[in-house]
């Protein structure tokens, strides 16, 4: 887990302040968990930190869906399907975690990869739609 650091990049910004702030905080949460792992925190502490991230992602998706709803975004049903698929996979991975801090790395890498794709493939389109409307 050493040298593992997720950094916010301005290239992630979609130009919608509310969403960009949430995405930035999402990056912070990765680093908070990384710090807890490096500090030698136990299984229960790490499980609660991961669960907090899950609830934060849940909140974030709800926030995006409200924005889409309010602005009449046509791609909303696809986005909701994608959000649900991600939350289901996140839940599956949390419940199959063996409690070993080292085995959190693949889970966090999966989350971060998904996060980057989520912004590039989905959220950029919402940003462009909101600028037009």
Which residues sit at the interface with Fe ion, rule CB under 5 A?
A: 123
CB-nearer residue toward Fe ion: 4 or 114: 114
**Shortest Cβ distance from residue 126 to Fe ion (Å)?**
8
Query: Minimal distance in Å, beta carbon 6 to Fe ion?
Result: 15
When the beta carbons of 6 and 123 are compared against Fe ion, the nearer one is: 123
Q: Which is nearer to Fe ion, 24 or 43 (CB)?
A: 24
Between 63 and 103, name the residue whose CB sits nearer to Fe ion.
63
Q: Tell the burial category of 104 from Cβ atoms under 10 Å away from its Cβ (0-12, 13-18, 19+).
A: buried
d(CA 75, CA 67): 12
Query: Residue 98 Cβ, how far from Fe ion at the closest point, in Å?
Result: 29
Backbone angles phi, psi at 95, to 5 degrees: -70, -20
Q: How far is the CB of 103 from Fe ion (least distance, A)?
A: 26
| Backbone φ, ψ for residue 53 (5° rounding) | -65, -40
Q: Where are the alpha helices (DSSP H) in 11-42?
A: 17-38
């Amino acid at each position: 887990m050493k040298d593992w650091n997720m950094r916010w990049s301005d290239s992630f910004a979609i130009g919608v302040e509310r969403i960009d702030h949430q995405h930035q905080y999402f990056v912070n949460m990765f680093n908070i968990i990384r710090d807890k792992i490096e500090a030698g925190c136990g299984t229960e502490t790490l499980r609660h930190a991961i669960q907090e991230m899950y609830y934060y992602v849940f909140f974030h998706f709800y926030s995006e869906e409200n924005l889409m709803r309010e602005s009449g975004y046509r791609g909303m049903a696809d986005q909701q399907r994608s959000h649900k698929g991600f939350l289901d996979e996140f839940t599956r991975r949390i419940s199959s975690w063996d409690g070993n801090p080292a085995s959190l790395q693949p889970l966090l890498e999966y989350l971060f990869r998904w996060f980057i794709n989520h912004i590039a493939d989905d959220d950029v389109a919402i940003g462009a739609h909101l600028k037009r409307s």
